[in-house]
Amino acid sequence: MNPLTIEIRPVTPPDVPAISSLAREIWQASYPGIITQEQIDFMLEQRYGVDRLYDDLEDLHKWLDQAYHNGRRIGFAFSEIYNGEFKLDKLYIHPDVQRQGVGGLLIAKVAERAKKLGYPCVILAVNKRNVKAINSYKKYGFTVRESVVEDIGRGFVMDDYIMEKRL
């Protein structure tokens, strides 16, 4: 298959409502079977509500990138400085265009930024049951560093692997 022509642009305030909707669409397509619907709703509200996203845009330690194909917004990657490390915090590609290299392009963009800023690696957290994502991160050079269970409130936990990619 030919690689898609992708343009990566920074997210700006007018994009926020569309990013919030895109997150919901991708989460609904991806997470049933991995976490409960209640947890999906809770995490979407906590992390992708428009007010939260406007706050993220103002944070100098966060970078919000979005990917377009033929004028259509098809995914996004958020990265940030987290506890002194460079973290890929969110990576979501629309199901219509998954497995066509878009995730890889966004990972490369984030890794390039981390390297320019002098960080030795990029880290991320991924649900242990999200095999598709884990495989994709392995393909792009991430390895599992540790296993964590984090309480995120309202009785929910994130049961994750922390993965890292050396730069």
- Site residues, ligand COA (CB under 6 A): 26, 30, 91-93, 98-104, 126, 130, 132-133, 135-136, 139
Q: Which residue is nearest to ligand COA (CB)?
A: 103
How near is the Cβ of 167 to ligand COA at its closest, in Å? 18
The residue type found at 121 is C
Between CA 22 and CA 96 the distance in angstroms is 12
How near is the Cβ of 56 to ligand COA at its closest, in Å? 17
Burial 40-67, CB ≥16 within 10 A → b, else e: bebbbeebbeeeebeebbeeeebbbbbb
Contacts of 94 (CB under 8 A, 6+ apart): 22, 25, 26, 74, 75
Q: Which helix (H) or strand (E) holds 82?
A: strand 72-82
Beta carbon nearer to ligand COA, 30 or 79? 30
How near is the Cβ of 101 to ligand COA at its closest, in Å? 5
Contacts of 144 (CB under 8 A, 6+ apart): 161, 162, 163
How near is the Cβ of 76 to ligand COA at its closest, in Å? 9
Beta carbon nearer to ligand COA, 43 or 133? 133
Beta carbon nearer to ligand COA, 61 or 139? 139
Beta carbon nearer to ligand COA, 60 or 129? 129
